[in-house]
A and B are shown apart, each in its own frame.
Chain A
Amino acid sequence: MPERRINIHDTRNLKRGKVDKKFVFKNLLRYLKPFAPILALVFLANILGTLLNLAGPRICGMAIDEIHLDGTTDFKKIGVYAIILCITYLISAGLEYLSAIGMAYISRGTVKKMRSEVFSHLTRLPVSYFDERQAGDIISVLSYDIDTVGESLANDVMIVLKSVVLIIGSLVMMLTLAPLLVLVFAVTVPCSVFMTRFIVKRVQPLFRKRSAKLGELNGYVEEITTGQKTTRAYNCEQKIIGDFEEKNREAVDAYARAEYFGTISGPCVNLLNNVSLTLVSVFGALMFMNGQVTTGQISSFVLYSRKFSGPINEIANIMGEFQSAIAAAERVFRVLDEKPEPADPEGAKELENVKGEVEIEHLNFGYIPQKPIIKDFSLKVERGQVIAIVGHTGAGKTTIINLLMRFYDADSGTIKIDGKDVRELTRASVRRAFTMVLQDTWLFAGTVAENIAYGNGNVTREETERVCRAAKIHSFIARLPQGYDTVLNENAVNISKGQKQLLTIARAMLLDSPMLILDEATSNVDTRTEQIIQEAMGELMKGRTCFVIAHRLSTIKHADNILVMRDGNVVEQGTHEKLMAAGGYYSELYYSQFETA
């Protein structure tokens, strides 16, 4: 049987603060509402099935009563009881199955809707949301957390409902059978509840510690195994093994402690069950001798007592699962609570027939409001000009691009395209006016042709081939096993970094936007491919306004304007000759690059 998908590496639950339960349930209700009629039916089926199941022991007891110690057994009556029992159990099983798949249906539907909504909300969030978080964290909300909520809905809700019905039902049955005998449970049930709570309370921190220690160990193993060669190169295997030993010991100890205390509850619950069985037998026997009960009634009572004590512990166990499901749900709803990119202002115009003139006036910007990095920056770009952005790694070259593309909005000052303030235009149309070719090439799982057309269904194969020829990647594609229909994924095709870059250039050519944002790559591509990329980029740049994060001297020297960035700010701008003549930071940069040490 497949077990509930658990993530043994997940340690996020460890540092959870207080969960806002009201917030969670309010949101959860919104999802369950459309399923209200089915939910009601499922509940009904579940309650009915459980009640029928409960009737079983009673009928059993009645049948046993017909077995007489003196041998005058009424077989006919027993036969009737047997048939009734069979029918009861059949219907009960059928209802149980129906409610199980009904609940599965509801939980799948909820999960589906939740995933769609969270995803489409994510697409509306500003880029800063993704910049500030780890990709893994966002993904685990969408996959693991939503799964946890779904599993809890499918299993835990039904178990709790069933348990409650069983507890109340068997209690009522036992009361009708022998009210005095029920007093036995007045002793054992509080004991059992108290004990389970005590154990859970003791065990929970142990389990948290266990996950934390296991997470630590796993992290260490991943680190060291990945860098195994380094360990050997530095001859420090013994030291590393020593460090590991410490973590291993801690993890095993934490595991054993949690496991040990976790397994105590089973035998303890069994003990209490056995004690109640003993007490019921003894007191039942006494009552029988006083003529207060029949043997059949004692039998029924014993069977009910089993049904009674089981669910109490089940509920106690499930509370832990519930808590992690609620914490998971909270993380999901927090994502939905994130503010999306502000909507375009009322009457925002579409940017059309773009010429490609950009004007930036007195721009100020900082990723954190208290820390402005771009200060009073102005720039005028004519149609078809090439603007080179230069500076050290981390000097803030991508900031300019973030602002042009409106991934971030400036704190003050204006950016105008063709004389129109971008804030009065729709975001989509501003973004469409640019094409980006970045260093981290982005391809998705799909065919080569799909990757080039990217969601644009009405691109013909001829057009695709045309841009691929222009991007000098056509012959490579043609040599692939299925040509343009070859599916790109991690394992199937060996496609180099340089070829990926060419594919993104082809994609950019197909878009044919009037303005271009380019990030020249330097490292990790071999020389011949680099040359081809350079040619393809040159082809792409023809006749467009270009913003280039430049690494190549030739690009920089032929640029119409160079923006020199330092510590996030634009410190100098002008042509190569002008900047060299000025002898400022740019000339320093320039000489250091080509200096002979």
Chain B
Amino acid sequence: MTKTLAYLKPYRGAVAWGLILKFLGSVAELFLPLLLEYIINEAVPAADMNRVLICGGIMLVFAFIALFGNIFANRLSVTSSGGMTHDLRYDLFSKTCYLSSSQVDRLGVPSLISRLTSDSYYVNQMVARTLRLGVRAPILILGGIILAFTRDWALALVLLACVPLVGIIIFIITKKSVPLYFGVQKKQDDMVRDMQENVTGVRVVKALTKEEYESEKFDGLVKELAAREFKANKIMSLSNPLATLVLNLGLVAVIVTGALRGNLPGTVLAFLQYFVIILNAMIALTKIFVVISRGSASAGRIESVLREDTSEKILDISDEKNGYKIEFSNVSFSYNGVGDNLKDIDFALKEGETLGIIGATGSGKSTLVNLLMRFYDAGGGNIRIDGRDVRAYKNDELRKKFGVAFQNDFLMASTVRENVDYGRGLSDEEIEKALKAAQAEEFVQTLEGGVDYNLAQKANNLSGGQKQRLLIARALAASPEILILDDSSSALDYATDAAFRKALAKDYPDCTKIIVAQRISSIKNADLILVLDDGRVIGKGRHEELMRDCDEYKLIYAAQMGGEKDARAQD
């Protein structure tokens, strides 16, 4: 929380002025009932017109002080809380961009998103509301009580007794209803999930003619939800009538006490006014407590990200020039430090060569790529590019060498050109060349506006194959030294895949390629193929060698290309 509040520092002038103005405005309002009392108790019995008018005039002046004090204070609180949120969100976003992959894994992507969106929103709300009302409410309550005591201590005690009473009522009701609302939330999640299942599975439901069954199931959920909501409503609805009741009974007590103590009617009336002011302030205060408790939880979540260390760690490892572009020697790695995700990986690749990686889901294919690009540091062994250990490179220097399309990579809601360029300021020729090689040129031309066509969020207006082709184009566009395609041609049909591989060999001959695939046809022409299984290399060599020596590879081949021998025979 302190770190978050420190973001208010640049705005301390505005905050201070805001508080002063707020204070003035609130105090001005507190004096109004006092003046009213004076009119009724003193000026009226004395039939003094002048005094009535003067008091009236002062009341008007105070009313306007309250107006301008509050408006300017609000303005200041909005600018300072807005500015602070801006700065906080900026730092949080910058931090998020530079987090290492293991940090992202630990924090979780959905959680990072919610920290940037709803959490920063809640912090803003907390600061703005506190500056606006959180100061005003205590001033009104305290000031009201102090002024009340200056008039009549007994009446003031009645007032004082009601304040905690309302507080207790609201506290108890909130405490009772919160778990009930949790229950409601849970049922609501169930209901939404059920709807999701039905909307996405509409074909299955219809194919099996289960419409009625689904309707009945949903009815059950809805009924349960309504029952839980009603139960929570029953308790929550108590708060308003009860608080009003206490307020009203307090009024009666004030009148009775006032009468017993022989107070003047004007004093009683002033007290009634204070009553209303204080109790409204109380209600505002309880609302603020909710905002503050939620806001400070959010601030904590944001701070835990800001505390992450994102400084670059460049290790001092001496180079070992041996003519290889990429070299893995005895590399091992584990995500969680328990089991090995990769073990004893050993291979070397010359410039312009192609490496194919194949293996079951979870066998470590993507992990290998992650280590090569230093998203994670290897646990053991060395990974060298151009003879230098990847950990001895500066991050940007290392990553400049790569063009990569990850598995399920993302496209921005922006134009085709911007997606391929991706902030690198590439020339039109480079983009065109890449689109052509990635077999994307043809379909891009059919889009309205060509490369200026705007993609929807998550590129939902493109097919899976089209998305992959753009991703490949993006990876190629800067003519990288090393191209990595991590299972990113799976949605291409065979013909397109083949045409792409041809274009790649022709247009980007110097580029060293790493192709991770499920399909043998995508990698069978590679200079080196690694067959991974459970983090280990169980086959290494060219296609022909593997067909001879590696059982697993033969198995995959048989499954995918079954009957191909006959096809050859016909050729």
Q: Is A370 part of the binding interface, using a Cβ–Cβ cutoff of 8 Å?
A: no
CB A578 to nearest CB in B, in angstroms, measures 14
Q: Report the bound CA distance from A268 to B63 in whole Å.
A: 10
Is the CB–CB distance between B265 and A295 below 8 Å?
yes
Is the CB–CB distance between B555 and A531 below 8 Å?
yes
Most A C-beta atoms less than 10 A away, residue of B195, B259, B457: B259
CB B96 to nearest CB in A, in angstroms, measures 6
Q: Is B56 part of the binding interface, using a Cβ–Cβ cutoff of 8 Å?
A: yes
Is the CB–CB distance between B195 and A142 below 8 Å?
yes
Q: Is A228 part of the binding interface, using a Cβ–Cβ cutoff of 8 Å?
A: yes
Is the CB–CB distance between A267 and B410 below 8 Å?
no
Is the CB–CB distance between A252 and B121 below 8 Å?
no
Is the CB–CB distance between B256 and A225 below 8 Å?
no
Is the CB–CB distance between B113 and A75 below 8 Å?
no
Is the CB–CB distance between A223 and B265 below 8 Å?
no
Q: Report the bound CA distance from A592 to B36 in whole Å.
A: 94
Nearest residue (CB) in A for B232 is A2
Q: Which of A65, A228, A295 interacts with B44 by CB under 8 Å? A: A295
Q: Is A394 part of the binding interface, using a Cβ–Cβ cutoff of 8 Å?
A: yes
Q: Is A204 part of the binding interface, using a Cβ–Cβ cutoff of 8 Å?
A: no
Is the CB–CB distance between B207 and A431 below 8 Å?
yes
Is the CB–CB distance between B238 and A97 below 8 Å?
yes
Q: Report the bound CA distance from A81 to B519 in whole Å.
A: 90
Nearest residue (CB) in B for A279 is B56
**Known interface pairs A253-B82, A256-B82; A112-B236 also in contact (CB < 8 Å):** no
Q: Is A445 part of the binding interface, using a Cβ–Cβ cutoff of 8 Å?
A: yes
Nearest residue (CB) in B for A253 is B82
Is the CB–CB distance between A281 and B36 below 8 Å?
yes
Is the CB–CB distance between A278 and B56 below 8 Å?
yes
Is the CB–CB distance between A298 and B40 below 8 Å?
yes
Q: Is A522 part of the binding interface, using a Cβ–Cβ cutoff of 8 Å?
A: yes
Q: Is A21 part of the binding interface, using a Cβ–Cβ cutoff of 8 Å?
A: no
Q: Kindly list chain A residues whose C-beta atoms are within 8 Å of the C-beta of B205.
A: 123
Residue-wise, chain A 281-320 has the 8 Å CB interface mask toward B (1 for contact) of 1100110110000011011001100100000000000000
Is the CB–CB distance between A223 and B413 below 8 Å?
yes
Q: Is A458 part of the binding interface, using a Cβ–Cβ cutoff of 8 Å?
A: no
Q: Is B348 part of the binding interface, using a Cβ–Cβ cutoff of 8 Å?
A: no
Is the CB–CB distance between B464 and A454 below 8 Å?
no
Is the CB–CB distance between A268 and B67 below 8 Å?
yes
Is the CB–CB distance between B202 and A455 below 8 Å?
no
Q: Which of B208, B396, B404 interacts with A454 by CB under 8 Å? A: B208
Is the CB–CB distance between B121 and A8 below 8 Å?
yes
Stretch at the interface among B86-94, B377-385, B430-438: B86-94
Q: Report the bound CA distance from A249 to B82 in whole Å.
A: 9
Is the CB–CB distance between B230 and A108 below 8 Å?
yes
Residue-wise, chain B 446-459 has the 8 Å CB interface mask toward A (1 for contact) of 00000000000110
Q: Is B126 part of the binding interface, using a Cβ–Cβ cutoff of 8 Å?
A: no
Q: Report the bound CA distance from A232 to B63 in whole Å.
A: 57
Interface residues of B in 231-283 (CB under 8 A from A): 233-234, 236-242, 244-245, 248-249, 251-252, 255-256, 258-260, 262-266, 268-269, 272-273, 276
**Known interface pairs A8-B121, A237-B97, A527-B556; A281-B286 also in contact (CB < 8 Å):** no
Grouping DSSP codes into helix (H, G, I), strand (E, B) and loop, the B interface class, with mixed when no group exceeds half, is helix
Q: Is A573 part of the binding interface, using a Cβ–Cβ cutoff of 8 Å?
A: no
**Known interface pairs A222-B113, A282-B53; A523-B404 also in contact (CB < 8 Å):** no
CB A125 to nearest CB in B, in angstroms, measures 9
Q: Kindly list chain B residues whose C-beta atoms are within 8 Å of the C-beta of A223.
A: 410, 412-413, 457-458
Q: Is B191 part of the binding interface, using a Cβ–Cβ cutoff of 8 Å?
A: yes
CB A143 to nearest CB in B, in angstroms, measures 5
Is the CB–CB distance between A594 and B564 below 8 Å?
yes
Q: Kindly list chain A residues whose C-beta atoms are within 8 Å of the C-beta of B406.
A: 229-230, 233
Is the CB–CB distance between B206 and A89 below 8 Å?
no
Nearest residue (CB) in A for B501 is A597
CB A472 to nearest CB in B, in angstroms, measures 15
**Known interface pairs A85-B252, A282-B52; A523-B423 also in contact (CB < 8 Å):** no
Is the CB–CB distance between B192 and A100 below 8 Å?
no
Is the CB–CB distance between B196 and A139 below 8 Å?
yes
Is the CB–CB distance between A392 and B208 below 8 Å?
no
Q: Report the bound CA distance from A56 to B248 in whole Å.
A: 8
Q: Report the bound CA distance from A392 to B463 in whole Å.
A: 12
Interface residues of A in 242-295 (CB under 8 A from B): 244-245, 248-249, 252-253, 255-256, 259-260, 263-264, 266-268, 270-271, 274-275, 277-279, 281-282, 285-286, 288-289, 295
Interface residues of B in 344-371 (CB under 8 A from A): 359-363
Q: Kindly list chain B residues whose C-beta atoms are within 8 Å of the C-beta of A274.
A: 29, 32, 59, 62-63, 66
Q: Which of A143, A252, A263, A594 interacts with B82 by CB under 8 Å? A: A252
Q: Is B570 part of the binding interface, using a Cβ–Cβ cutoff of 8 Å?
A: yes
Q: Is B493 part of the binding interface, using a Cβ–Cβ cutoff of 8 Å?
A: yes
Q: Is A538 part of the binding interface, using a Cβ–Cβ cutoff of 8 Å?
A: no
Interface residues of A in 101-125 (CB under 8 A from B): 101, 104-105, 108-109, 111-112, 115-116, 119-120, 122-124
Q: Is A524 part of the binding interface, using a Cβ–Cβ cutoff of 8 Å?
A: yes
Is the CB–CB distance between B44 and A285 below 8 Å?
yes
Q: Kindly list chain B residues whose C-beta atoms are within 8 Å of the C-beta of A56.
A: 248, 251
**Known interface pairs A260-B75, A278-B60; A248-B86 also in contact (CB < 8 Å):** yes
Is the CB–CB distance between A3 and B290 below 8 Å?
yes
Q: Is A575 part of the binding interface, using a Cβ–Cβ cutoff of 8 Å?
A: no
Q: Is A353 part of the binding interface, using a Cβ–Cβ cutoff of 8 Å?
A: no
Q: Is B166 part of the binding interface, using a Cβ–Cβ cutoff of 8 Å?
A: no
Q: Kindly list chain A residues whose C-beta atoms are within 8 Å of the C-beta of B463.
A: 393-394
Nearest residue (CB) in B for A531 is B559
Is the CB–CB distance between B256 and A78 below 8 Å?
yes
Q: Is A379 part of the binding interface, using a Cβ–Cβ cutoff of 8 Å?
A: no
Is the CB–CB distance between A123 and B410 below 8 Å?
no
Q: Kindly list chain B residues whose C-beta atoms are within 8 Å of the C-beta of A227.
A: 409-410
Most B C-beta atoms less than 10 A away, residue of A67, A109, A435: A67
Q: Report the bound CA distance from A139 to B260 in whole Å.
A: 63
Q: Which of A78, A240, A282, A407 interacts with B56 by CB under 8 Å? A: A282
Q: Is A436 part of the binding interface, using a Cβ–Cβ cutoff of 8 Å?
A: yes
Q: Kindly list chain B residues whose C-beta atoms are within 8 Å of the C-beta of A244.
A: 90, 93
List 9 extra interface pairs beyond A232-B98, A237-B98, A434-B207, CB under 8 A: A67-B263, A223-B410, A230-B409, A259-B128, A282-B39, A299-B269, A405-B207, A440-B200, A524-B361
> Can you list 15 A-B pairs, Cβ within 8 angstroms, ordered by A?
A73-B259, A86-B249, A96-B240, A108-B233, A112-B223, A139-B195, A223-B457, A232-B98, A234-B404, A255-B85, A267-B67, A282-B52, A442-B197, A527-B556, A592-B494
What are the nearest 4 A-B pairs in CB distance?
A526-B360, A239-B423, A227-B410, A592-B495
